[in-house]
């Protein structure tokens, strides 16, 4: 690998498993990292694939009356289709049943056997079918598999072994002198702890065909096939031309990031490096182990029925939102919890309210106040203090995002971008382009909207690797194509006169029309007379100013009010005529329910509901204590 290339891999997934959120996560993470590097102009290679040999596939094939290869061919499609649906941009997809892999595995075995790195011996041990691994008696927990807790079978047979034990001291030293090799640090300590306290055994790398026929045949003994992990780990190099295409191999190897879940740490930080050492191949730069996705606080498992199906999530909420949630929610290395409720909360707040809304507001106002064209702004656009502050926050997001890729803290990078997005929303409240326009300050309106659009341009570029589809739509609104990282620090990229494109809401808010539509596994328990936080947050309370008021003819209790809510004008009918005259309410700041479905009251359209305090026959308007710079303020 040259310093300037990036090679990222995912584990190759067992083809008999149904893809779930865990598989989707590792693959999306690899995709996001690959996208960032491609965007930065770094030559990038992204590999994923499927692990197709072993007992589980053989058993599934027998059960379904298929050959093992037919079984694989049928089930591999589930992964390939999911990756397509999730906008995964892998450069290659390796299947361990392909000739390009099998032939090289055999060459590696032959070479290691010839050099006495592999030897034949009799073996007695305990075998776990689920994990496809042998364990020594002393490693069993209550007589069961130490990894998964299932029953193990006593096995006595002749097998072939890789001299892994002789590399124990070398491996300890390598890990200690290469802190970047196992990430995060605490995972390196986990492997070191194990290496320093237990004697490493030689690794059994064969299975007699009489017990398992579905595997790569040992080139030096036709009665045996290769142990599935020895076969599978080699995919990372067979796919890039090891022993066949030196140019390609040297361009990508050593891999930059080998992403794995914490469940397969030992195979990737003990078996894999010792295998490579024996083969005289350099080690990958970093094996990065992420944590588990849990359902709430519980491990996902088929028997508990709490496994999240990525396809369902994507069908319901869209690919980009799903990708965003997974990357934003998990602190790399630690476990994270998935609930549909948390998903919806983050979706509504980050994507629908903050980002999506900001785009709609900006596009609408450019349409209304700038004739739908990007305004011409001078060099002094960044002179004002609020402008400077906003642009600084946006630039801070650029810095944070760049460093978060290097340090694998992508969620922190996304937080910084969302902070910048919120800053633009605050900036609007300070500058009030709707007031600027009313006051005829055309140039100032132009600056305000240009600042917002330029900030959105940069934020969309930073979010592009995570949400390529939606961010393309966002950028297209300003006549922009694929982001260019060279322009992240430049102000004034959108050309004056660019026609602004109207967009449909990027992330429509997720509302539940009724209780049945709520996600089943996360439905809160209903308590009589109590409402949930989400229900409160669904009610949008806003301040408004009464611009004009008059009585509704033929209805003595009703006043018809013309109000201003932020940049919007609305009409509202309120039952306050017995307590307030029209003159008494004009000019007052009131509080309204802004997202009430419009209705006709006595034939008069009413868009919202005004809040009053009432006791007995007394009624008082709810108003704001003191002045706020604008109407439309959120009441919470």
Out of 42, 66, 264, 612, name the contact with ligand MSP by CB under 6 A. Answer: 264
Exposed / middle / buried, residue 612 (Cβ in 10 Å: 0-12, 13-18, 19+): middle
CA distance linking residue 199 with residue 561, whole number of Å: 82
Smallest gap from Cβ 348 to ligand MSP, in A, equals: 24
Residue 498: closest CA among 467, 437, 457: 457
CA distance linking residue 442 with residue 437, whole number of Å: 6
Residue 419: closest CA among 487, 354, 358, 338: 354
Q: Name the segment binding ligand MSP (CB under 6 A); options: 228-236, 381-389, 428-436, 601-609.
A: 228-236
- For ligand MSP, which is the closer residue by CB, 285 or 290? 290
Smallest gap from Cβ 299 to ligand MSP, in A, equals: 7
> 573, 606 in Cβ contact below 8 A?
yes
Size of the site for ligand MSP (CB under 6 A): 20
Structure token pair of residue 400: 């944070």
- For ligand MSP, which is the closer residue by CB, 24 or 463? 24
Out of 157, 263, 389, 443, name the contact with ligand MSP by CB under 6 A. Answer: 263
- For ligand MSP, which is the closer residue by CB, 79 or 126? 79
Out of 164, 171, 232, 352, name the contact with ligand MSP by CB under 6 A. Answer: 232
- For ligand MSP, which is the closer residue by CB, 11 or 468? 11
Q: Does 269 bind ligand MSP (CB under 6 A)?
A: no
Positions in 277-296 near ligand MSP (CB under 6 A): 292-293
Owner of token pair 């069908």: 315
Residue nearest to ligand MSP (CB): 22
Structure token pair of residue 72: 């694989």
- For ligand MSP, which is the closer residue by CB, 232 or 609? 232
> 574, 626 in Cβ contact below 8 A?
no
Q: Does 51 bind ligand MSP (CB under 6 A)?
A: yes
- For ligand MSP, which is the closer residue by CB, 326 or 398? 326
Smallest gap from Cβ 239 to ligand MSP, in A, equals: 11
Q: Does 83 bind ligand MSP (CB under 6 A)?
A: no
> 40, 32 in Cβ contact below 8 A?
no
Smallest gap from Cβ 14 to ligand MSP, in A, equals: 4
Exposed / middle / buried, residue 360 (Cβ in 10 Å: 0-12, 13-18, 19+): middle
- For ligand MSP, which is the closer residue by CB, 103 or 264? 264
Q: If you write DSSP's letter for every residue of 152-208 in order, what string do you get?
A: -EEEEEEEEEE-GGGGHHHHHHHHHH-TTSEESHHHHHHHHHHHHHSPPPPEE-EEE
Q: Spell out a b/e string for 143-171, using b for 16 or more CB atoms within 10 Å of the CB, else e.
A: eebbeeeeebeebebebbbbbbeebbeeb
Smallest gap from Cβ 264 to ligand MSP, in A, equals: 5
Out of 6, 22, 340, 570, name the contact with ligand MSP by CB under 6 A. Answer: 22
Q: Name the segment binding ligand MSP (CB under 6 A); options: 229-237, 277-285, 498-506, 602-610.
A: 229-237
Out of 1, 6, 11, 359, name the contact with ligand MSP by CB under 6 A. Answer: 11
Smallest gap from Cβ 464 to ligand MSP, in A, equals: 24
- For ligand MSP, which is the closer residue by CB, 12 or 109? 12
Q: Does 86 bind ligand MSP (CB under 6 A)?
A: no
Residue 591: closest CA among 616, 557, 628, 550: 628
Residues 6+ apart with CB under 8 A from 614: 620
- For ligand MSP, which is the closer residue by CB, 14 or 491? 14
Positions in 235-254 near ligand MSP (CB under 6 A): 235
What are the helix (H) ranges across 432-503? 433-438, 442-463, 468-477
Smallest gap from Cβ 412 to ligand MSP, in A, equals: 19
Out of 6, 7, 8, 26, name the contact with ligand MSP by CB under 6 A. Answer: 26
Smallest gap from Cβ 260 to ligand MSP, in A, equals: 5
Out of 1, 6, 7, 14, name the contact with ligand MSP by CB under 6 A. Answer: 14
Residues 6+ apart with CB under 8 A from 492: 377, 381, 450, 454
Q: Name the segment binding ligand MSP (CB under 6 A); options: 10-18, 121-129, 398-406, 541-549.
A: 10-18
Structure token pair of residue 474: 């966002």
For β-strands 293-295 and 336-338, DSSP reports them as parallel
- For ligand MSP, which is the closer residue by CB, 312 or 371? 312
Exposed / middle / buried, residue 6 (Cβ in 10 Å: 0-12, 13-18, 19+): buried
Residues making contact with ligand MSP (CB under 6 A):
11-14, 17, 22-23, 25-26, 51, 232-233, 235, 260-261, 263-264, 292-293, 300
């Amino acid at each position: 690998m040259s310093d300037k290339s990036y090679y990222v891999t995912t584990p190759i997934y067992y083809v008999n498993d149904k893809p779930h959120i865990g598989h989707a996560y590792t693959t999306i993470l690899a995709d996001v990292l690959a996208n960032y590097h491609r965007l930065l102009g770094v030559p990038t290679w992204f590999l994923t694939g499927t692990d197709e040999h072993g007992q589980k596939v053989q058993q599934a094939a027998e059960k379904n009356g298929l050959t093992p290869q037919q079984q694989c061919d049928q089930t591999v499609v589930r992964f390939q289709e999911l990756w397509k649906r999730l906008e995964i941009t892998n450069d290659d997809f390796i299947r361990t049943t392909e000739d390009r892999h099998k032939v090289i595995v055999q060459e590696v075995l032959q070479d290691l056997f010839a050099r006495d790195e592999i030897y034949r011996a009799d073996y007695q041990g305990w075998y776990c079918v689920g994990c496809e691994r042998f364990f020594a008696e002393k490693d069993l927990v209550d007589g069961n598999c130490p990894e998964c807790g299932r029953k193990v079978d006593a096995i006595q047979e002749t097998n072939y072994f890789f001299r892994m034990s002789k590399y124990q001291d070398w491996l300890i030293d390598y890990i200690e002198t290469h802190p970047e090799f196992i990430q995060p640090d605490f995972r390196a300590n986990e492997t070191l702890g194990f290496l320093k306290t237990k004697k490493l055994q030689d690794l059994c790398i064969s299975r007699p065909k009489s017990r398992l026929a579905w595997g790569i045949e040992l080139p030096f003994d036709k009665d045996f096939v290769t142990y599935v992990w020895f076969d599978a780990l080699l995919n990372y190099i067979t796919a890039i031309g090891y022993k066949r295409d030196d140019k390609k191999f040297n361009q990508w190897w050593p891999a930059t990031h080998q992403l794995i879940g914490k469940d397969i740490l030992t195979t990737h930080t003990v078996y894999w490096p010792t295998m490579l050492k024996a083969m005289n191949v350099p080690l990958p730069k970093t094996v990065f182990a992420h944590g588990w996705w849990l359902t709430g606080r519980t491990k996902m498992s088929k028997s508990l029925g709490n496994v999240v199906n990525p396809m369902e999530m994507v069908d319901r909420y869209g690919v980009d939102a799903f990708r965003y949630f997974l990357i934003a929610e998990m602190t790399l290395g630690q476990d994270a919890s998935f609930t549909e409720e948390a998903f919806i909360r983050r979706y509504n707040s980050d994507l629908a309210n903050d980002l999506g809304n900001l785009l709609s507001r900006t596009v609408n106002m450019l349409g209304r106040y700038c004739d739908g064209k990007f305004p011409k702004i001078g060099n002094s656009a960044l002179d004002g203090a609020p402008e400077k502050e906003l642009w600084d926050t946006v630039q801070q997001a650029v810095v944070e995002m760049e460093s978060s890729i290097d340090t694998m803290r992508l969620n922190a990078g996304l937080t910084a971008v969302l902070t910048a997005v919120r800053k633009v929303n605050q900036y609007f409240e300070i500058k009030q382009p709707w007031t600027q326009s009313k006051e005829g300050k055309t140039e100032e309106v132009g600056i305000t909207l240009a600042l917002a659009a330029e900030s959105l341009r940069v934020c969309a570029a930073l979010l592009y690797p995570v949400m390529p589809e939606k961010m393309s739509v966002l950028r297209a609104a300003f006549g922009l194509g694929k982001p260019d990282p060279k322009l992240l620090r430049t102000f004034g990229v959108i050309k004056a006169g660019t026609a602004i494109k109207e967009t449909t809401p990027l992330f429509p808010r997720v509302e539940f029309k009724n209780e049945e539509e709520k996600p089943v596994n996360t439905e809160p328990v209903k308590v009589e007379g109590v409402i949930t936080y989400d229900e409160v947050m669904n009610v949008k309370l806003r301040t408004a100013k009464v611009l004009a008021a008059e009585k509704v003819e033929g209805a003595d209790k009703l006043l018809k009010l013309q109000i201003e809510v932020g940049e919007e004008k609305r009409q509202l009918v309120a039952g306050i005529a017995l307590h307030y005259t029209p003159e008494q309410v004009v000019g007052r700041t009131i509080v309204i329910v802004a997202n009430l479905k419009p209705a006709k009251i006595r034939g008069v359209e009413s868009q919202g509901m005004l809040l009053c305090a009432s006791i007995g026959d007394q009624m008082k308007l709810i108003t704001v204590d003191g002045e706020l710079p604008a109407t439309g303020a959120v009441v919470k």
